[in-house]
Structure 1
Amino acid sequence: MARLQVVGATVVDGSGRDPVIADVAIDGRTLSRLGASSGRGDRLDATGLTMTPGLVDAHVHLGLSSPIQPQFSFQISAAEIAADIFATAGAALDAGFTTVRDTGGIDGGVVTTIANGKVRGPRVLSCGPVQCQTGGHGYFGADWEPSELWSAHHVPGLCALSMMSGNADELRSNVREAFRRGATFLKLCVTGGVVGAHDRLTDTQFTIDEISVAVQEAASRGTYVTVHAHNNEGIRNAIQAGARCVEHGTDLDEPTAALMAAHGVALVPTFAVVDQLLHHSAAAGLGESSRERVAGVRERMAEALHTAKAADVRIGLGSDLIGPAQSRRGEELTLRARLETPMDALVAATKTNAEILGLSGEVGVIAPGMQADLVLWNRNPLEDPEVFSDPTNAVVVIQAGKIVKDSR
């Protein structure tokens, strides 16, 4: 079994405890000891570097790594889409993200291709295609295109943005198909969205009974449902139906936050995509209308974050970046650090996200027995959270005990 000693780093373990200078011993894929070096195995001198757990992004869209509108209108080949997906996966790893949760856009082949080591990338948990109601958020067909042709946009084994359902029976069939294609959890769109063609943020989508069908199918497989939701009515419907997580939560109010806390429902805010759409919508391959739709969302999402925190809701972290410009994924931590503290942002992106993804006890903290997913930074991101934004600051990335990046 390969052994590695990482010596002399300032260790920020992801739990929220103060940093300590310590050596970390890795045996195979696992962290075996935190403390003084035993001298066994290869030695990596990390003096002057800061170590954190491998970061976790709870809201990614690897399958939306090409310019969005051209991809949805068949102007980009499957080969180019695949190249963009795998480039984004490699960039996520280089930015220090060793685990991601894909919340819609890839098919099962992407997950297995990365897991088999054929291309570089983080560990990927995927919902497969997003579940949306007929014509709802997640459907981006042209106005003239009959909705039943939408599934023709799927590239089996590669990308599949969404599946549409007109009723509970269709939804049950679609979520079963998503699981057949490799999904390990489900995502439903229960409100309109920012990047949408046929809906508004105030729209509520899917009924409680329909959402309950997805929850039932997920529970029968030992997993859960998360929901795209911006408004309180949609969030409340999802909670009543049994969903376990809310993405975005832009207009979350105090009573709804209290309801989330009472039912153990987590929140994953997504600030980086809002900044992306406000300042770089063209780089994502989107039109000016996307910038207009996002106006005011950032301020309301920040208020929702503080409302959720006051209610003691478990709050994770997700970037939600789309299009080709996904290399600065760590900006989500920088943005959160400005709203909370750098330590809060780091814990959300490690320990808390691992809990939300069902990986607590495997990743998310630096402790004996955990998988050896680690990042060494050239400066302390707790002192300067801008460090998270630039992937070149992640000088060493270790995934499952293997050094996958070393730019020292």
Structure 2
Amino acid sequence: MSLLLTGATLIDGLGGDPVANAAVAVTDDRITAVDASPADTPADADLVDLSGLTLLPGLIDAHVHMGHASEMQAVLTHQLSVAERAADIFRTLRQTLDAGFTAVRDCGGIDHGILRTVGKGMVPGPRIWASASPLVQCGGHGHLGSPFQAPDESFAFRVRGLTAVGRISDGRDEVRKAARECFRQGATFLKMAVTGGVVSIADNLDDTQFSIEEIEVAVEEANARHTYVTVHAHNKYGVRNAVKAGVKCVEHGTGIDEETAAMMAAGGVALVPTLAIAQVLTEDFEHHGLPPQIRERVCGTTEGMISAIEHAKAAGLLIGSGSDLIGPKQDRRGLELALKAKVLSPMEAIVSATSVNARIMRVADKIGSVERGKLGDLIAVDFDPLTQPELFDDPERVRLVVKGGKVVKDTRK
């Protein structure tokens, strides 16, 4: 199957100037030519006229939780069946693809069953790179359930083949075993919580979690698999511990200051801020079914992440893009680009959600830019992203989605 996409203004995801009236050829699942001519395209190629639209690489959300697609309180109180939880996940996967996100990095919540189901094309969804069960310490961020339950009872919320929950691992030996189990679940990288979190019950944002020695074990196991560790972190002390241990990415990053950013730069550590979830929780907290004490924790996280982005940019860090949306309403992934465009520039926001995310995820040879040889993941929007980046927050403005050379959404008139 071949496509010739013509007439659009091209933003290639690498930060270059937009190219008017572009022509991009896709054969099978690969981009075969940019600035294509008829000679670059088979005679039987389908012509896709994108006049008046803007063509971009498929967007990447580098911090998602597909397994947390149901109302959280209903899950924690066992009010939902496995069938309902599965339906919520499949709906969220479809919404993600329709919003123009052709790839995601799942930072905790699904296991190999979802990866296989999407990979086989049994349900529509983006390409997924996943961490399976995040590594958490007892009583730390990601340790679900009531404090009146025994620690191991948190795994009652897990559904093998569908969802994954925080893997409690205290001490070097438990961290090593948990890391290896994550890879058995299909993980392509590891995720650890090294500070308290917003959606937590038994910790505070300024707590540090896991010792440097424990984090080093996860890094060692990731290195053995030729991959990396990313960490949930909301204060500079937790970030510094993780950097010393050898992690390669930090999620959220509130509390990062100039000194911490310099440490990250020296260690080649990237940052993935998550502005969208902070705004969504502020606007519509009740919808998520979270305990009321969590509302107070949301305050200040936006300002903290904006400050972290500014320090990260000054230090030359890779700054990625992640929404961190949870719950049954995950249709605002594009909000992350809209918010980041206010802190960086609209072009930098686009690059963060395309080629930079691909670099952070170590898949830049496959996705993240419109270049010959890359996978044919492309989207077309009916607005100018450089002057109206706020419209990324409206999935309906994404008119065309191509994944692997196949048109999976087309609402052009």
TM-score, normalised relative to structure 1: 0.98
Q: Which residue of 2 aligns with 1:6?
A: 5
1:389 & 1:53 partners in 2: Cα distance? 17
Matched position secondary structure for 2:409: strand
2:34 & 2:179 partners in 1: Cα distance? 43
Q: Which residue of 2 aligns with 1:133?
A: 137
What aligned pairs does 1:154-165 form with structure 2 within 5 A after superposition? 154-165=158-169
Query: Conserved in 2, the CA contact under 8 Å of 1:31 and 1:368?
Result: yes
**Which residue identity does 1:376 align to in structure 2?**
A
1:152 Cα offset (Å) = 2.0
2:301 & 2:5 partners in 1: Cα distance? 42
2:283 & 2:291 partners in 1: Cα distance? 12
1:257 Cα offset (Å) = 0.2
Q: Which residue of 2 aligns with 1:87?
A: 91
2:139 & 2:390 partners in 1: Cα distance? 40
Q: Which residue of 1 aligns with 2:72?
A: 68
2:384 & 2:182 partners in 1: Cα distance? 41
Matched position secondary structure for 1:315: coil
1:140 Cα offset (Å) = 1.7
Q: Which residue of 2 aligns with 1:33?
A: 33
What aligned pairs does 1:13-28 form with structure 2 within 5 A after superposition? 13-21=12-20, 22-28=22-28
1:37 Cα offset (Å) = 3.2
Query: Conserved in 1, the CA contact under 8 Å of 2:99 and 2:334?
Result: yes
Matched position secondary structure for 2:147: coil
Q: Which residue of 1 aligns with 2:353?
A: 349
What aligned pairs does 1:180-259 form with structure 2 within 5 A after superposition? 180-259=184-263
**Which residue identity does 2:90 align to in structure 1?**
F
Q: Which residue of 2 aligns with 1:327?
A: 331
1:92 Cα offset (Å) = 0.4
**Which residue identity does 1:334 align to in structure 2?**
A
Taking only the aligned residue pairs, the percentage that are identical comes to: 50
1:307 Cα offset (Å) = 0.8
- Cα deviations by residue, 1:375-399 (Å, 9 ceiling, x for unpaired): 0001111110122110001100000
1:288 Cα offset (Å) = 2.7
1:283 Cα offset (Å) = 1.4
Matched position secondary structure for 2:342: helix
Equivalent residue for 2:300, pick from 296, 299, 302:
296
1:301 Cα offset (Å) = 1.2
Alignment RMSD (CA, Å): 0.9
Q: Which residue of 1 aligns with 2:182?
A: 178
Matched position secondary structure for 2:32: strand
1:290 Cα offset (Å) = 2.0
Query: Conserved in 2, the CA contact under 8 Å of 1:281 and 1:287?
Result: no
Matched position secondary structure for 1:187: strand
Query: Conserved in 2, the CA contact under 8 Å of 1:245 and 1:267?
Result: yes
1:73 & 1:197 partners in 2: Cα distance? 15
Query: Conserved in 2, the CA contact under 8 Å of 1:90 and 1:121?
Result: yes
Query: Conserved in 2, the CA contact under 8 Å of 1:65 and 1:326?
Result: yes
Which 4+ stretches in 1 moved above 4 angstroms? none
Matched position secondary structure for 1:275: helix
1:30 & 1:69 partners in 2: Cα distance? 43
- Cα deviations by residue, 1:4-41 (Å, 9 ceiling, x for unpaired): 10011100000100100210011111111111431631
1:380 & 1:161 partners in 2: Cα distance? 40
1:373 paired with 2:372, answer no
Q: Which residue of 2 aligns with 1:395?
A: 399
2:158 & 2:329 partners in 1: Cα distance? 22
Equivalent residue for 1:149, pick from 143, 148, 153:
153
- Cα deviations by residue, 1:273-303 (Å, 9 ceiling, x for unpaired): 0011111121122133222111111112111
**Which residue identity does 1:7 align to in structure 2?**
T
1:279 & 1:36 partners in 2: Cα distance? 45
- Cα deviations by residue, 1:33-59 (Å, 9 ceiling, x for unpaired): 111431631100111110010000000
**Which residue identity does 1:371 align to in structure 2?**
L
Matched length:
407
**Which residue identity does 2:397 align to in structure 1?**
N
The more displaced of 347-356 and 30-39 is 30-39
The gaps in structure 2 that reach 5 residues or longer are none
Query: Conserved in 2, the CA contact under 8 Å of 1:192 and 1:203?
Result: yes
Query: Conserved in 1, the CA contact under 8 Å of 2:144 and 2:166?
Result: no
Query: Conserved in 2, the CA contact under 8 Å of 1:208 and 1:241?
Result: yes
The gaps in structure 1 that reach 5 residues or longer are none
Query: Conserved in 1, the CA contact under 8 Å of 2:171 and 2:214?
Result: yes
1:50 paired with 2:54, answer yes
Query: Conserved in 2, the CA contact under 8 Å of 1:277 and 1:290?
Result: no
- Cα deviations by residue, 1:286-323 (Å, 9 ceiling, x for unpaired): 13322211111111211111011111111101000000
- Cα deviations by residue, 1:209-261 (Å, 9 ceiling, x for unpaired): 10011100110011100000111111111111110000000010110100000
TM-score, normalised relative to structure 2: 0.97
1:77 paired with 2:81, answer yes
- Cα deviations by residue, 1:342-385 (Å, 9 ceiling, x for unpaired): 10100000000000001112111101111110000011111101
1:208 & 1:112 partners in 2: Cα distance? 34
